[in-house]
Chains A and B, each alone.
Chain A
Amino acid sequence: MRSVLRIIFLLLLSGIGLAAGQNVFIEGRILDRETRDPLPAYVAIVDGPGISADAAGRFRLSVPRPPSGTIKLSVWLIGYQKKDIEAEPGKFLTVELDLEPAPAREISVAADSIVSDEKTQKTVTLTKMEVYTLPGTAADPVTAGHVLPGVNSPPDASSLLIRGGAPDEVAYVFDGIELRHPFLSESLHESYFSVFDNQVVESFSIATTGFHPKFGDALSGVMDISAKDHPAKAEGGLGLSIFGLNSYAAFPVKGIGSFVGSYNRGFSDILTRLNSRGGGRDFRTENAFGKFQFPLGRSNEIRIYGMADNYRYSQNADPAFDVSTINTFAAVSWTSTLSHRLVFKALLASLRYDLIYDQPETLQVRSRDGETQARLDFIGDFDRHFLEFGADFSRRRIDTSLTEIEALNYRTTGTRLGFYAQDKFRLSDRVYFNLGGRLSALDLLNRGWALDPRFSAAFLFTRRDVFRFSAGVYHQFGDYSVLAANSGLRPKTAVHYALSYDRITEGFDLRAAVYDKEYRNLFLRDAGGAMTNGGAGYARGAEFYIKKKSAAFEALLVYNFVLSERRENDVSVLAPSPYAITHSATGIVSWKFKDGSLGLRYSIASGRPFTPLLGRDWDPVGESFIPVWGPPYSRRCPAYQRMDLNGTWNIQFLGKAVIIYFGITNVLDAKNVLRFEYDADYASRKDQESIFGRSLFLGLYVPFF
């Protein structure tokens, strides 16, 4: 018995020894192939145990000694492609992993500027919060867009001048609704704000080229805005400033859906008095927005929208006049998730814009622009392919009544129809394409269908460095009253080519871009006064944008260069474009403190082109002076410059986080001349300066909930 026990004991000992002898270690390091960053990936024996590498990517795995000398391992980290390798114990192993290719939906292929907080778009961003915090943005998403590359607008205009294009070459789309009148005032020089309330905006993008074929009737760019949806908890607040009040509320309604809404009221009295700017000018604004969302089951949703905007402007003298506009829309949309890969959206909207202009005893204008829009959109997400197609319809009626000596009434009606399709697809791990097109027609033209083929490509040189190329044809039908009077016209055309490079890393965005935009079929008046498609032009330029962001500060620099000439309207020779701001640059620095922030912005830009007055001739027949103009747009206004300062201070008041904010516009009180006006006899010229002299703005915001 004792000998048996001894044998068992010896066998056990030898077994332990054998087991110990069979265990060997595999050591190594796991790296990202591209960036050489260490990866804390998981390494496992095939059909066996495994271990995670440490933060330095190093691992030491105990494995049974392989009879063949090598052992099969699998290495994996989420977001990376799994790798199977054969390892030899005793040899230090270096494993390189490749990222999983991103699904097509996550890559921005077109060379555009996008505003979003998504991490995977690999394009320059301007977050919705930056619309509030950056100086000189007036908490307005359109005004904030001026700091994006490709937007050449002088900071005084709400309108976006994109890559040398005219302000009306940009389409403004709000949750799929095309807004023809997105500004409180439609003048390039005196519009202060857009009708979009940043409080109800979820995200927005400004496309400077390569924009989606679902957007038509725009030659230069698209601003696409999405309203907030699905508030998860009640939020909102009340703001009071020297310009009036703003309020916002969003909340879920248990068992029904949700609501998002805002109401704002503004008046210039205190603002102008505080800043000693009377001038007999006064304006008031009022804006209300509401959006209700009702889920129907788990896969259908109905949304009902409404917006009403009222703007009144009065001038006491030189000349005295009143302008008021009422801008409204109502819409209903239905979204249906047909499967987890296919979504269908339908939208029906009714829009109305009323303008009343009264210049006592001289001129009265009444205008109503009414439109019905409908659209159907299908979205298919198939990982490698992101497919979108649909159709849109618009019927628009413009009634204008002009009373000078006698009343003149005009009515124009146009019906537009469009179809589009686009496939954004991944050709390889690094190459993504957008291939699409749009077919559209307007009955006012009687010229059949206009086809817009569009193509974009993105090459992910590394995951941080993206090259993009876009080429496409864009059509715009133009002013309906001009088309109604000239039914033989074709739509205006622009052909875009753009090449851009983006470097996007955590807290750092860089873009460099060059582009060429060739205009054809622009409207040109012939010698007989009829409008033709004989106009043409070009805009060529380059952009540079850099943004650095950390927890404590943010710095941004954008520079745009554009050369543009046009032969258009009454200018029959190729002349500098009135929209070409050759050089424009903006620098912003903002600091964040524990209880507040401070921001400084400086913008400088070339002056706008204008046509010089060379002299005047006496017309004995009309008994008045006739101006003698120089070459069209051959001179420029003085260079534009403006410095803005803003700050916030967060305090606790009655248990609420109250924000007190201030802004000083045009700190240096630079006199920026935007255009010139002449006396009736053309004997003297008067500078028309920007209304943005040095002004102080104060306000506070109290959250409701």
Chain B
Amino acid sequence: MRNLSAVFLSLFILGTTGWLAGSPSDARSIEEGTQALSPVVQSIVEAKALLKTGVDAGNSESVGKARDLFLNALMKSSEPSAVLEYDIALADFRLIVLALNSSDPAGADRNLVEGERYLESAMRHDPSFGEAFALYGYFLGLEIAVHPDRAMTLGMKSYQYFAQAEEKSPADPRIHLLQGEYTLYVPEAYGGGPDRALPFLEKAEGLFGREVAADPLKPDWGKDELYVYLGLAYRRKNDPGKAREMLMKALAVNPDFGWAKAELAALDKSK
């Protein structure tokens, strides 16, 4: 409890110094703001910030360092923590995407195996943690991307995890975001595509609008990338105006989001 109070206090400090908005003074702010925290909480707060920096810049080294900090926090926790296991898997998820973008399926496979194990453990430690189920469903989709021969068995299994996630935490925007992302990548002939993805993404948008980040140790990512995915969906629907609007929204949420910038540049170039 004392730790949580300290986190709230530090969050307030960090918030006022611009960290929540992702300002360039991140590192210094984190250092200052986390000095009063326990080593475990300090690791988590630092890790979350580093993860965001890494994702913003598409930098796997930063994401890897964030993962190490989450691991450190987990190792030093006195009890199993489903949220920390989820955080590690989330870092794995980012590393897989970066590896796949760099055409490194072997690297992706490593993080895939570990990420799935962490999520299996998280689901075991907290069976009511819907977001872990949704991320696991997404991991099964990533496994299909790395091992296409597993599509027939894993495809339906991934939907089952999404359904369980929604049942457990219907108001969690990241569950709908992950389903929307997943559906966008599934070929239309197999039940995917932008038309089927948009309802999930729009539901996520509504839920993000109502989300209050009460506990900074809990997952709070996704609002910026939601708008990128909305942009991608509208672009695939040949609606560049709407796509642009969404990408601008992504940058309004997170001005440092490199992927949103890249997509915006690509959209402008294609005109």
Q: Give me the interface of A with B, judged by CB distance under 8 Å.
A: 40, 42, 44, 47, 49-52, 55, 74, 76-79, 82, 117, 127-129, 230-233, 235, 252, 340, 550-551, 592, 652, 655-657, 705
Contacts and interface: CB of A to CB of B under 8 A. Distances in A.
Interface stretch (B5-13, B28-36, B157-165, B226-234): B157-165
B190 A55 contact: no
B189 A656 contact: yes
A550 B150 CA distance: 11
Nearest to A550: B149
A232 B189 contact: no
B191 interface: yes
Nearest to A252: B163
A49 B68 CA distance: 9
Nearest to B68: A52
B160 A44 contact: no
Given A44-B72, A44-B75, A551-B148, A230 B67 contact: no
Contacts of B64: 52
Given A78-B121, A230-B163, A655 B68 contact: no
A52 B163 contact: no
A74 B75 contact: yes
Contact of A42 (B75, B147, B159): B75
A657 B187 CA distance: 10
Contact of B71 (A50, A117, A231, A235): A50
A50 B110 contact: no
Interface string B88-113: 00000000000000000011001000
A425 B72 CA distance: 33
Interface of B is mostly: helix
A232 B118 contact: no
Nearest to A705: B191
B210 interface: no
A52 B67 contact: yes
Given A232-B162, A235-B156, A78 B117 contact: yes
Contacts of A656: 189
A78, A127, A128, A129 pick with most chain B CB within 10 angstroms:
A78
B160 A49 contact: no
B211 interface: no
Nearest to A52: B68
A74 B76 CA distance: 10
Interface residues of B, number: 33
25 contacts: A42-B75, A44-B71, A44-B72, A44-B76, A50-B71, A50-B72, A51-B68, A55-B106, A74-B75, A77-B114, A78-B114, A78-B118, A127-B153, A129-B152, A129-B153, A230-B160, A231-B156, A232-B160, A232-B162, A232-B163, A551-B147, A652-B189, A655-B188, A656-B189, A705-B191
Contact of B156 (A44, A77, A232): A232
A550 B156 CA distance: 21
A47 B107 CA distance: 30
Interface string B157-200: 00111111000000000000000000000011111000000000
Closest 4 A/B residue pairs (Cβ): A232-B163, A232-B159, A657-B189, A232-B160
B72 A49 contact: yes
A47 to B, nearest CB: 7
A231 B161 CA distance: 10
A579 B263 CA distance: 68
B68 A233 contact: no
Given A49-B72, A74-B75, 9 more contacts: A49-B68, A51-B68, A76-B75, A82-B75, A127-B153, A232-B156, A233-B191, A235-B156, A652-B189
Nearest to B89: A78
A133 to B, nearest CB: 9
A458 to B, nearest CB: 22
Contacts of A82: 75
Nearest to B165: A232
A351 B118 CA distance: 45
B241 interface: no
B127 interface: yes
B71 A52 contact: yes
Contacts of B162: 232
Interface in B202-241: none
Nearest to B159: A232
Interface in B127-152: 127, 147-149, 152
A76 B73 CA distance: 13
B18 interface: no
Contacts of B152: 129
Given A51-B68, A78-B114, A592-B149, A233 B189 contact: no
A233 B121 contact: no
A235 B160 CA distance: 12
Contacts of A50: 68, 71-72, 75
Given A74-B75, A230-B160, A47 B39 contact: yes
B158 to A, nearest CB: 8
Contacts of B72: 42, 44, 49-50
Contacts of A235: 156
A340 B127 contact: yes
Contacts of B147: 551
A79, A117, A232, A252 pick with most chain B CB within 10 angstroms:
A232
Nearest to B193: A655
A55 B107 contact: yes
Interface in B34-69: 39, 64, 67-68
Contacts of B106: 55
Contacts of B160: 230-232
Contacts of B149: 550-551, 592
A233, A252, A656 pick with most chain B CB within 10 angstroms:
A233
Contact of B117 (A79, A232, A550): A79
Contacts of A231: 156, 160
A370 to B, nearest CB: 36
A657 to B, nearest CB: 4
A334 B121 CA distance: 28
Contacts of B190: 657
A705 B188 CA distance: 10
A82 B118 CA distance: 15
Given A55-B107, A129-B152, A233 B71 contact: no
A159 B96 CA distance: 47
Given A44-B72, A74-B75, A655 B159 contact: no
A47 B40 CA distance: 10
A188 B127 CA distance: 48
Nearest to B154: A117
Given A51-B68, A74-B75, A117 B189 contact: no
Contacts of A655: 188-189
A340 B125 CA distance: 11
A117 B140 CA distance: 13
Nearest to B157: A117
A531 to B, nearest CB: 48
A518 to B, nearest CB: 39
Contacts of A42: 68, 71-72, 75
Contacts of A705: 191
B76 A47 contact: yes
Nearest to A79: B117
A514 B145 CA distance: 41
A50 B187 CA distance: 41
B67, B147, B149, B161 pick with most chain A CB within 10 angstroms:
B149
Contacts of A52: 64, 67-68, 71
A233 B152 CA distance: 15
Contacts of A551: 147-149
A705 B193 CA distance: 13
Contacts of B164: 232
Contacts of A44: 71-72, 75-76
Contact of A55 (B68, B75, B110, B117): B110
B64, B75, B153, B162 pick with most chain A CB within 10 angstroms:
B75
A596 to B, nearest CB: 14
B60 to A, nearest CB: 12
A555 to B, nearest CB: 14
